[in-house]
Chain A
């Protein structure tokens, strides 16, 4: 397996522009997470999905942020309009079988993508 695939690796844009980050989780994983990492706030969970359904989006900063998971193999995180304070590294992660059952030893590990570094000027 190629692991969790994120694109782009780097994005530089100007304030006010729309930014779309993409993620392809590991095949068979039914959890997908979007995290943001900054020096000031560390690693923050933005949103996570289970079986393509958003479960907890309480970490999404504001209405400018939106995330979708149209199918089991693809998710996007969109920022519109972008602001300089959105500059960060955005990570996507996935994990295995879950739901309302106890996570087995193989399912509890989150595998992370390489991250997308966003710079908003």
Chain B
């Protein structure tokens, strides 16, 4: 079974600065997807960014980018120019690329933005 580990329960960053959230995973598969979801106080789960394992290029979405290291099974999220609205729980998640599979989540990292 796949597992996802987020070793940082809490992180904080000064507004406008850059922060990196860590995620590692364990799998025997070679074809899969990785995701970062954001959960603000409203509790809505919002997709931030996704990465396909067969793509070597790191995904980028505006101020959000990932550092995907397939051999190391590492998938970190970098948030540039942090904004107050970025304050939330961030969950790393894994899904097999072949249908019939669930989304497995890490335990989350609570990100606080310091004005």
Measured CB to CB, the residues of A under 8 A from B are: 33, 42-43, 45, 48, 50, 55-56, 89, 91, 93, 98-103, 105, 107-112, 114-115, 117
Q: Which of B33-76 contact A (CB under 8 A)?
A: 33, 35, 37, 42-45, 47, 50, 52
Given contacts A42-B107, A101-B99, 7 further A-B contacts (CB under 8 A): A50-B99, A50-B100, A100-B99, A102-B99, A103-B33, A103-B95, A103-B96
The proximity string for B residues 90-105 relative to A, scoring 1 for CB distances below 8 Å and 0 otherwise, is 0100011111101111
> In the complex, are the beta carbons of B43 and A89 less than 8 A apart?
yes
Q: A33-B103, A110-B103 are in contact. Are A100 and B44 (CB under 8 A)?
A: no
The secondary-structure label for the interface of chain A is strand
**Set of chain B residues within 8 Å of A99, measured between Cβ atoms:** 99-100
User: Would A108 and B95 count as touching, CB distance under 8 A?
Assistant: yes
* Residues of A with C-beta under 8 A to B95: 103, 108, 110
- Inter-chain contact A109/B99, CB cutoff 8 Å: no
Question: Given A55-B100, A103-B33, A103-B99, are A115 and B44 neighbors across the interface (CB < 8 Å)?
Answer: yes
Residues A102 and B102 in contact, CB atoms below 8 Å apart:
no
